A and B are shown apart, each in its own frame.
Chain A
Amino acid sequence: GQQLNQSPQSMFIQEGEDVSMNCTSSSIFNTWLWYKQDPGEGPVLLIALYKAGELTSNGRLTAQFGITRKDSFLNISASIPSDVGIYFCAGTHHYGGSQGNLIFGKGTKLSVKP
């Protein structure tokens, strides 16, 4: 089935650093979502994007819906220890109200530098 390529697979952060991750698709998407999952818990929705070129912030998090509609980016500024976890992108070809379902990337695991 359809796959999303999410990168990097993992990264180490030092407190205060900015973090970037992205997700790409071989086909056009109409919605991009970014989730965070902490150990032992379900994914939590961070940001939803509905228009090409859209740039949306949620605190220190900023996500963009790529102009080509085939990619999305998530940036975390001034990272803090509680940012560690797994970040998932998800997208759908369809607008809400239709039969579309989400396709998930395989995740980017954020860890603290030893």
Chain B
Amino acid sequence: QKEVEQNSGPLSVPEGAIASLNCTYSDRGSQSFFWYRQYSGKSPELIMFIYSNGDKEDGRFTAQLNKASQYVSLLIRDSQPSDSATYLCAVIRSSGSARQLTFGSGTQLTVLP
């Protein structure tokens, strides 16, 4: 079982729709959860982070965390073609002194005009 799992996609949504990206993690003690956006050929850009169960909203983005189900999601409302990118889910696990990010393989999102 991978430590962080994401559907690789590709996920296609029409412009203006809601894009829903999902991520599950295996370490029940994971503490912090992050979503990064990565355009082709570029580096990851932090777009959301969430530490507590529930929802966190920032503009068109909502992160949802359910620690009991070991599940974190990202909703993108009013999707735009500029949102087309790979979205990486990352968690910080509970073990070790380093707080390294453990990433999923990413979900490729395409927003169709």
Say whether A associates with B.
no
B interface residues, Cβ below 8 angstroms from A: none
A residues sitting closer than 8 Å to B (CB atoms) are none
